[in-house]
Amino acid sequence: KKVEGKIRPVFSHEFVSRADGLTSLSKSYGLDFGQNKQSLEHSLAYEAVANGSADIIDVYSTDPKIKRLDLVILEDNLRHFPRYEAVWLARKDFVLAHPEAWAALRTLEGSLSEDKVIELNAQVEIDKVQVPTVIQAYVQRDDSQAGPISDETGFAAIAARIWLRTKEHLVLVGITLVLSIAVGVPLGILAARRPRLGQGLLLASSIVQTIPSLALLCFLIPVFGIGLVPALVALFLYSLLPVLMNTYIGLKAIDPTLIETAHALGLSPFRQLVSIELPIASPNILAGVKTATIISIGTATLAALIGAGGYGAPIVSGLAMNDMNTILVGAIPAAVMSLVAHFVFEVLNRILVPVGLQM
């Protein structure tokens, strides 16, 4: 049945692409949505329904917003969808190394009904209780000896979370900055000295910039795994171009007469580079490093997707729960860090750049 133009469907990205998702469902029920469908992050689909932008969405039966928005769930009378069960998936070495922890996890088997999961999800998504607090309360529900449940919503707890994420973010940005300078400046000098090789270097680093961040992280996981290392590799690749390009431009823009004069005075190539060329090119180089730093601060928020932490962790969690307060815990500090970096580089510009070259 052709339904294009009659309803406004919005489906999650996962539902559109999975084997038992939209395509197979449409075949099972003979539905033709045509081009009149959109894909959206699952948590945002409920907002689309609430504000009248969508008429039909895919849901999880344990989503608490189903009841809050008074949505009607269509019955799968053709039994298209299989029965989905949640199971523990653990590495064998973890089970052997931590038998008590594994035994504790096994006690949860069979204890979570659909109604109970809806109740727990509602505490997180609607009541805005932090996930660790909800989990701790449920796990300790029958334990009279359990310690007090931590408060994750107080000022001290939020400040501690921000400080933890700040340290993680500084590690990501700091290491990336050191690597981009250590590699980008020498490559920029080489590019200025060897024009043909330089064009190849600039082209290669420019191509990296066209690769979407999420795609690059996916490419790196099979090689470097998850965590800090692949995040640093990705950030380094993205921050390399501004440093390399600005070093190259700064050196190529130097008046050839100055180079000839230095050569006539008998300065060695190294002395000429250190005493004349790099100081003259320093405004451009510093601008490139500043750009690389700002890029790293913003891009590093995606590192949370592969377990590297930083300000991206609360942003990703907030997006999953459509919780603006949690998103702001990561977004605001990231913006503040960018502003601080801007002013730090303004100070460095006055210190490192020769007075006659300052803007």
**pLDDT at residue number 356:** 66
Angle at 138 between CA 135 and CA 139, to 5 degrees: 85
28: pLDDT strictly greater than 70:
yes
Q: Are 160 and 248 part of one and the same domain?
A: yes
pLDDT band at 341 (very low <50, low <70, confident <90, very high): very high
Average pLDDT over residues 42-62: 86
pLDDT band at 137 (very low <50, low <70, confident <90, very high): confident
**pLDDT at residue number 241:** 93
201: pLDDT strictly greater than 60:
yes
pLDDT tens digit string along 89-112? Answer: 899 999 999 999 898 888 888 888
Is 49 domain-assigned? yes
Domain span including residue 107: 92-139
Torsion of CA 324, 330, 336, 337, to 10 degrees: -160
Is 145 domain-assigned? no
54: pLDDT strictly greater than 90:
no
Is 188 domain-assigned? yes
Query: Domain containing 163 — which CATH number?
Result: 1.10.3720.10
Q: Are 28 and 101 part of one and the same domain?
A: no
Query: Domain containing 49 — which CATH number?
Result: 3.40.190.120
pLDDT tens digit string along 277-325? Answer: 888 888 899 999 999 999 999 999 988 988 888 999 989 888 877 778 8
Closest residue by Cα to residue 61 from 116, 23, 108: 116
Q: Are 110 and 168 part of one and the same domain?
A: no
Q: Are 160 and 254 part of one and the same domain?
A: yes
Q: Are 97 and 125 part of one and the same domain?
A: yes
Indicate the range of 134-138, 233-237, 331-335 predicted with least confidence: 134-138
Is 339 domain-assigned? yes
Residue % of the chain over a pLDDT of 70: 94
pLDDT tens digit string along 243-263? Answer: 999 999 999 988 888 888 888
Average pLDDT, the chain: 86
